[in-house]
Chains A and B, each alone.
Chain A
Amino acid sequence: MTKDEIKNMIIEQILEVAPDISVDEITPNGSLQRSLEIDSFDFLKILTALHEKTGVEVPEYDYAKVATLESMAGYFAGHL
């Protein structure tokens, strides 16, 4: 899976959890939680769904490394 494919997959999961967000609102380096008003429950749901799809489990101490779309895609690409 390329990093772009992972990015698309992440966007898909964000839209699944928060259908009212439009794709343009998701910027590569904006904090997902703060800028998209994704709360801790939604965030966990997104990570759980991504775990099911990729097998990569993000431990809590790595949350800072998956705070933006760009860094999250990089994290998953590095752990596949």
Chain B
Amino acid sequence: MPSLGADMESAVLMEWHVKEGDAVKKGQIIAEVETSKGVIEIEVFEDGIVKKLLVAPETECKVGMPLAIIASSSDTVAQIEEIKQEITPNINEQSLAQEERIKISPAARKRAGELGVDLNQITPIEGVIQLSQIEAAGTTKVKTPEKEKSKDGMRQAIAAAMSRSNAEIPHYYLATSINMTPALEYLTKLNRERSIQERILPVALLIRAVVLALKEVPQLNGFWQNSEEQLSKEIHLGIAIALRGGGLITPAILDAQEMNLSDTMHSLSELITRTRAGKLRSGEMTKQTITITNLGDLGVESVYGVIYPPQLALIGFGAIIDKPWAEGDALCVRKVMSATLAGDHRATDGRIGALFLDKLNRYLQKPEELL
């Protein structure tokens, strides 16, 4: 069971998408697990063959517990046997320690969550709770204990990660005001030639500017691990996405360094939809190298964020507001946005953060370079 966030302790394996003997390719989705952050699809790390599925669906697994044995082409039969021997006792121990889980199909469990049906109140038919039983129980019950529980789990997860951040990371904060008029005018012109499906939102332009600025100031992109900075060549941008009804998830736009403006907009739109639907992939939950939070839609002027460990920095965007702006000797009104940076002072100093904000500003003054 991979750790899908610094704060995750366990998750329930819901469904296998492969069976023993299947060949799998790197990146292929092999299973779905349910965490406090919703259902997440688990990708496989390398090419190989599924030798054995070690965990049955509906099992709660601690982080680090083996879920399956996947043989890469270089593994010999003897090596695989050895691995099997090593982990089998381990698993038996863990399964015994678990309390017995209720047998129910993923669809029925999901529906039970939606309808707020308490699974302990239902007598399984032939040992398994049926979807029809959930529907029947749901019509007589309106409370939502399951949903409250999962939301509470997310609150706990956020609490743990943010407490750790504030305890461990010596943050420094920088802010700068950016004249967004050129970027917005450029976008208006661009969108006029595009259909509504291809329209670009300002946030996509901001993300592009972040990516290009990070290429020039890579010291902020990566992790603090084992008391040292580990920079990442790939830019996996964590995007803070608020969930309606509370909670927050920061899944990544993976390999943002390879995307143009349209790709970025498309990936972001797709990521938001899947986040709200609770359909994220494991890589998106684990690979973030830096995070962006944008509270502009709610009218907030600036946001000073808390870094998500073990990342090195967090970028905040506020609302774009009409403000008086001095240009040369003249005073005029411009669309102005505050951009902030929270940096880990163990890894970088304010100078690096300042360089980054300066590059970001420069890109937003030349929006045609962001295409």
Contacts and interface: CB of A to CB of B under 8 A. Distances in A.
A37 interface: yes
Interface stretch (B126-134, B191-199, B211-219): B191-199
Contact of A57 (B196, B268, B272): B196
A48 to B, nearest CB: 5
A4 interface: no
A20 interface: yes
Nearest to B243: A20
B297 A51 contact: no
Interface in B271-311: 272, 297-299
Nearest to B203: A40
Interface string B185-208: 000100110011101011100000
B244 interface: yes
A19 B188 CA distance: 30
Contacts of B268: 41
Nearest to B296: A40
Interface in A16-55: 18, 20, 33-34, 37, 39-41, 44, 47-48, 51
Contacts of A20: 244-245
A48 B196 contact: yes
B176 interface: no
Contacts of A47: 196
B272 A41 contact: yes
A18 B188 CA distance: 27
A51 B196 contact: yes
Nearest to B191: A60
Given A44-B199, A57-B196, 9 more contacts: A20-B245, A39-B297, A41-B201, A41-B272, A48-B196, A48-B197, A60-B188, A60-B192, A60-B199
* Smallest CB-CB A-B distances: 10 pairs: A39-B297, A20-B244, A57-B196, A51-B196, A48-B196, A40-B201, A20-B245, A41-B272, A60-B191, A40-B297
25 contacts: A18-B244, A20-B244, A33-B297, A34-B299, A37-B244, A37-B298, A39-B297, A41-B201, A41-B268, A41-B272, A44-B196, A44-B199, A47-B196, A48-B196, A48-B197, A51-B196, A57-B195, A57-B196, A59-B191, A59-B192, A60-B188, A60-B191, A60-B192, A60-B199, A61-B188
B269 interface: yes
A56 B29 CA distance: 39
Contacts of B297: 33, 39-40
Contacts of B245: 20
Contacts of B202: 40
Task: Name A's interface SS.
Answer: helix
Interface string B165-195: 0000000000000000000000010011001
B293 to A, nearest CB: 13
A44 B199 CA distance: 9
A37, A44, A47, A57: most-surrounded residue (chain B CB, <10 A):
A44
Nearest to A58: B196
B196, B203, B299: most-surrounded residue (chain A CB, <10 A):
B196
Nearest to B184: A60
A33 B244 CA distance: 13
Contacts of B197: 48
A18 B195 CA distance: 24
A44 B201 contact: yes
Contacts of B192: 59-60
Contacts of A51: 196
A20, A40, A41, A51: most-surrounded residue (chain B CB, <10 A):
A41
A62 to B, nearest CB: 12
A33 B296 CA distance: 12
Nearest to A48: B196
A44 B268 CA distance: 13
B205 to A, nearest CB: 12
B188, B192, B201, B202: most-surrounded residue (chain A CB, <10 A):
B201
A28 B355 CA distance: 47
Contacts of B191: 59-60
Contacts of A57: 195-196
B268 to A, nearest CB: 8
